[in-house]
């Protein structure tokens, strides 16, 4: 009887510890899956200078002529982490990227990290959006453009 009184609490503790450990392990796996799914859903693409040169325009070798390298129209968002209006624009662009998934690219360029691109395009105000249609010259907009205006621009300029 005395042994049973000593062993029974140990069994309960062991069961409690193993069940909590399994739950934490399962939560970690679920959390990892959620993060993977969220990153897959996020369709806004952050570009480095090297990626920009390969996917958008090779301004290093041909600075005089604009030649878009992409296979779909695009929006370039020149931003900085400290910019309040850039932060307001980010969720709007993410929504539009999901809404127009497969039809356009939405790229983000951090002007603090990718100074070479910002200098090449003469970016002075943030946020600056560059709209790149397939067969026309790019158009520029500065400031936080409302979502309904962005949709009009996408539909009339990029997807016409």
Name residue, tokens 């209006």.
85
From 86, 104, 118, 144, the catalytic residue: 86
Backbone angles phi, psi at 107, to 5 degrees: -110, 145
Three-state secondary structure call for residue 140: strand
114-122 CB contacts, 8 Å cutoff, 24+ apart: 114/47, 114/48, 114/49, 114/52, 116/49, 117/49, 117/52, 117/59, 117/78, 118/78, 120/59, 120/63, 121/59, 121/78
Is 20 part of the annotated catalytic residue set?
A: no
Q: Give the C-alpha separation, 53 to 117, whole Å.
A: 9
Residue 80 buriedness (CB in 10 A; 0-12 / 13-18 / 19+): middle
Cis peptide before 127 (omega within 30 of 0): yes
From 47, 74, 83, 129, the catalytic residue: 83
Is 86 part of the annotated catalytic residue set?
A: yes
Q: Which residues are catalytic?
A: 83, 86
């Amino acid at each position: 009887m005395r042994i049973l009184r000593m062993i029974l609490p140990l069994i309960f503790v062991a069961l409690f510890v193993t069940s909590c450990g399994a739950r934490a392990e399962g939560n970690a796996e679920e959390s990892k899956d959620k993060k993977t799914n969220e990153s897959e859903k996020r369709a806004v693409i952050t570009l480095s200078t090297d990626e920009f040169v390969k996917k958008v325009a090779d301004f290093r070798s041909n600075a005089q002529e604009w030649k878009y390298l992409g296979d779909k129209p695009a929006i370039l968002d020149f931003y900085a982490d400290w910019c309040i209006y850039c932060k307001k624009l980010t969720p709007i662009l993410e929504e539009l990227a999901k809404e127009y998934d497969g039809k356009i690219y939405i790229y983000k360029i951090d002007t603090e990290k990718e100074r070479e691109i910002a200098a090449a395009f003469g970016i002075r105000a943030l946020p600056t959006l560059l709209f790149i249609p397939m067969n026309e010259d790019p158009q520029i907009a500065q400031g936080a453009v409302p979502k309904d205006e962005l949709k009009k621009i996408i539909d009339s300029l990029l997807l016409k």
